[in-house]
């Protein structure tokens, strides 16, 4: 459920509003009836996994310059509509 309060009420009853947020409610704080901020329950965000083949970057930075990887990157660019191959064939 979303509840809207004005800034004065938010300052006066902040602890109560935090308890409401902890219980799952969303609080919108308004100035002159116009929403300007929102209080929502904080959730821990899981760390983002490394994407695909980039997981090795933390271990061996020189590994990113192998001929195989450079060929793979070049092939991706060559197949791209944005970065077409310079070879007209």
Residues 26-39 have pLDDT tens digits of: 999 999 999 999 99
Q: For residues 13 and 26, give the distance between their C-alpha atoms in angstroms, rounded to a whole number.
A: 15
DSSP 88: -
More confident residue, 54 or 25: 25
For position 43, what pLDDT does the model report? 83
Span 18-25, average pLDDT: 95
- Name the band, by pLDDT with cuts 50, 70 and 90, for residue 8: very high
CA atoms within 13 A on the CB side of 11: 4
Q: H or E segment at 37?
A: strand 34-39
pLDDT tens digits, 40-82: 998 877 766 655 555 555 666 666 677 888 888 888 888 777 7
For position 72, what pLDDT does the model report? 86
Domain 2-39 sits in which CATH superfamily? YefM-like domain (3.40.1620.10)
């Amino acid at each position: 459920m979303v509840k809207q309060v004005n800034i004065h009420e938010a300052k006066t009853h902040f602890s109560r509003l935090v308890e409401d947020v902890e219980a799952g409610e969303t609080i919108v704080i308004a100035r002159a009836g116009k929403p300007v901020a929102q209080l929502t329950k904080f959730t821990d965000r899981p760390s983002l996994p490394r994407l695909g083949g980039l997981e090795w970057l933390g271990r061996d930075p020189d590994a990113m310059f192998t001929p195989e990887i450079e060929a793979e990157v070049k092939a991706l660019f060559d197949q791209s509509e944005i970065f077409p191959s310079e070879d007209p064939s």
